[in-house]
Amino acid sequence: MISAPIHGRRIAAWAVAVTLLVPALAQAQVRQALYQPGGQQGQPARRANHWTSGGSEWTNAYGEPVVIPASYCGDGCTPGGMMGYNGMGGCCTGGAGPYPHGAPNGVQMQQPAGGWPGQFSPYAQECEDPCDGRRGLLGKCCFLGLFDAGLMRPIDQCGPHYFDFSAEALYWKRNKPADPEVIFATIGVTDVSAGVDPALALTTNDVEGDWEPGLRLTGRYDLGALSFLEVSYAGLFEWGAVSTLDGAGDIFTGYSNFGLGVDTTGDGVPNIGVDGAGLSSTELANSARLELLSELHNSEISYRRYWVGFNPRVSGTVMAGVRYTRLSEDLNFSTLGPAGSSWTAVRTENDLVGFQAGGDMWVTVRQGCRIGGYGKAGIYNNRCEVATSVTGSALPGGTALENVKADHVSFIGEGGVSIVADILPSWSLRAGYDVLFINTAALAANNFDFYPTVFLGETRNPTLYEESSALYHGANLGLEFVW
C-alpha cells in the first residue's frame, strides 16, 4: 500500500534529473565540438551577414553590399592564421596557404579577425561556393581568382548566360552556288559527260561568292524568373560574282548541248543546234558571261527557358519558336557572237516559314568568361518561285517570259560556338562561328532551262527544281548589353 507512492516519487525524481542533465550534457558536447582543432567536427554555423574587412564593407560592381550566406564555409574549412591551417584568410576569404599546418621554423603571422582577402593560395582546398572553385590569385572558377573571394569579390555570378540586347557583325561565306554544278558554255564542241577542262568552260564554280558581311540583332524580354521572349534578325548578305569566257566564234552553250545538238522530236537524233545550226543567238559566240547574285535574310521569335546543371558553372536554355527565312537569287547568262546575241535572266525566291526547336549550353571557365554552343532545327513550308526572261536577237517577239510556283517541305539547321567575355558591368564582348544549312531549296542555276525551243518561238512548259541545298558558314563578332 505504501510502495506505490514511493515508486511514483522515484520515477518523478529520475525524470527531473534527466530533464536537468540532458541540456547540460548537450551544451558541454556542443562546446567541445565547437572548439575541436582543425574545424573537422561541429563547425559553428555562420549567419548571413555583410562581408567586411578592416571595418570597411565590401560591395559588388553595382554598389550593393556583398552578402555571405549562412554556413558559407563547409566542413573542414575554418578561418586560419596568415600562414596557418587555412593560410591567408582560410576557406571563405583566401583558401589554404602555402603552409597548410603552419609555417616552419616558428614563422607565425596572425591575421585580423575574419581573415585576409586571399592573395596567393596554390594549395587551396575545395570549398563550397557558387563557382565550385578555389580562392586566391590563381583561383579555378573565376578570372585568375581575382574576383572569387581572392583579391576581389565577384562582380557576376557563375550562373546562366544572359543579356538584354546584342548586336553582331557577321562575315559569312556560301559553300557553293549550285547543287549540283551547272555548265553553261564551253570552247569547242564538247561532251561534258566525259568531263571538261575548267579553262575551257564557264560553270557555276566560276561564280562562287566570296566572304560577305552581314548583321545580326537580338533582343530579349523577360517573361519570368526563368523564361524570356527572344526576337532576332540576321541578314543583309549579298553574295555576288561575275565570270566570262572568251573565244573566237567557237563558244557553244547548253542550249545546243555544247554543239552536240538537241533532240526535240523524240526520235533519238539531234535536230537543233548541231554544230550551232539553228541557234544563231546563242551558239558560235565570241564571248559568254555569267553573273550570280544571292541574298539571305532570317527573322525569328522564340520562347526560351533557362536550365542550370548540377555544377552551376554549366547552364543554358531550351527554346522553341517560329522562323522566317528568305533566300533569293538572280542569275544572268549572256552570249555575244558574230551572228547574234542572247540574254537569259532567272530569278528564284524561297520563302520558308515554320517552327524550330533547340537550345544552348554555356560553361563558365573564368569569372566573366564563358564558352558555349547552340543548335536549332526545324521543318518549314517553302514557297518557291522561279521567273525566267529570255531575250535573243533571233527570238520571235524578242522576249519570252516564264513563271512557276510551288510549295515544298524544307529543312533548316543551324549551330555554332561562341565565347563571351565581360568588359564592363553591363557590356560583354562576344565572338564565335556559325553554320547554317538549308535543304530543299530552289536555286537559280539549277532552275536554268536550256531547252532550245524558246528560240524557235515555241512556248516551253516551265519547270521548278527544288532539290538543291545551300550551306553558309562564317564568323561573328559583337557586343552584348545587360540593362
For 393-425, give the DSSP string: TTSTTSEEEEEEEEEEEEEEEEEEEEEEEEEET
Q: pLDDT higher for 149 or 470?
A: 470
On average, the pLDDT of the chain sits at 79
The pLDDT of residue 130 is above 50? no
Q: pLDDT higher for 372 or 394?
A: 372
pLDDT for the residue 347: 98
Quote the cell numbers at residue 71.
554556413
DSSP letters spanning 345-362: EEEEEEEEEEEEEEEEEE
Please tell me the pTM assigned to this model: 0.70
User: Where does residue 86 fall: left (phi above 0), alpha (psi -120 to 50 degrees), or beta otherwise?
Assistant: alpha
pLDDT in tens, 152-207: 344 445 778 889 999 999 999 999 999 899 999 999 999 999 889 999 999 999 99
Split at pLDDT 50, 70, 90, the class of 4 is very low
Mean pLDDT across 65-75:
53
pLDDT in tens, 72-118: 444 444 444 444 334 444 443 444 444 444 444 444 444 445 444 44
pLDDT for the residue 17: 52
Q: pLDDT higher for 254 or 155?
A: 254
What is the CB-side half-sphere exposure of residue 5 using CA atoms within 13 A?
A: 2
Measured CA to CA, the distance from residue 385 to residue 103 in angstroms comes to 80
The pLDDT of residue 425 is above 80? yes
What is the CB-side half-sphere exposure of residue 401 using CA atoms within 13 A?
A: 1
pLDDT in tens, 36-50: 444 444 444 444 455
Q: pLDDT higher for 8 or 216?
A: 216
pLDDT for the residue 246: 97
Split at pLDDT 50, 70, 90, the class of 225 is confident
Quote the cell numbers at residue 482.
545587360
Measured CA to CA, the distance from residue 100 to residue 113 in angstroms comes to 19
pLDDT for the residue 396: 86
pLDDT in tens, 294-339: 999 999 999 999 999 888 899 999 999 999 999 999 999 999 999 9
Nearest Cα neighbor of 83 from 66, 104, 67 is 104
Q: Which domains does the chain have, with CATH numbers?
A: 51-155 (no CATH), 165-481 (2.40.128.100)
Split at pLDDT 50, 70, 90, the class of 146 is very low
Quote the cell numbers at residue 278.
539553228
Nearest Cα neighbor of 256 from 316, 337, 142 is 337
